[in-house]
């Protein structure tokens, strides 16, 4: 158990002293960029999915004669 506690302490110490953190303003900017591209990508996938759904619906109407 002491090994785990020591590991956690050393991990936090390394995070505090040895890790170079991104400045807060840049982190906010990058978060916004990721959010915008995620929304655009999801809208593109939704559009392609809707397009293929309509095409398949049309093909099924032709094949099944309904």
- pLDDT tens per residue across all 66 residues of the chain: 778 999 999 999 998 888 888 999 999 999 999 999 999 999 999 999 999 999 999 999 999 886
C-alpha neighbours within 13 Å on the C-beta side of residue 54 = 5
Question: What was the pLDDT predicted at 7?
Answer: 93
| pTM, to two decimals | 0.63
To the nearest 5 percent, what fractions of the chain are helix, strand and coil?
A: 85, 0, 15
Question: What was the pLDDT predicted at 43?
Answer: 98
């Amino acid at each position: 158990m002491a090994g785990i506690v020591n590991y956690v302490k050393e991990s936090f110490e390394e995070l505090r002293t040895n890790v170079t953190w991104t400045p807060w303003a840049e982190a906010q900017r990058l978060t916004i960029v990721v959010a915008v591209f995620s929304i655009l990508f999801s809208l593109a996938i939704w559009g392609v999915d809707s397009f293929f759904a309509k095409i398949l619906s049309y093909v099924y109407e032709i094949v099944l004669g309904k």
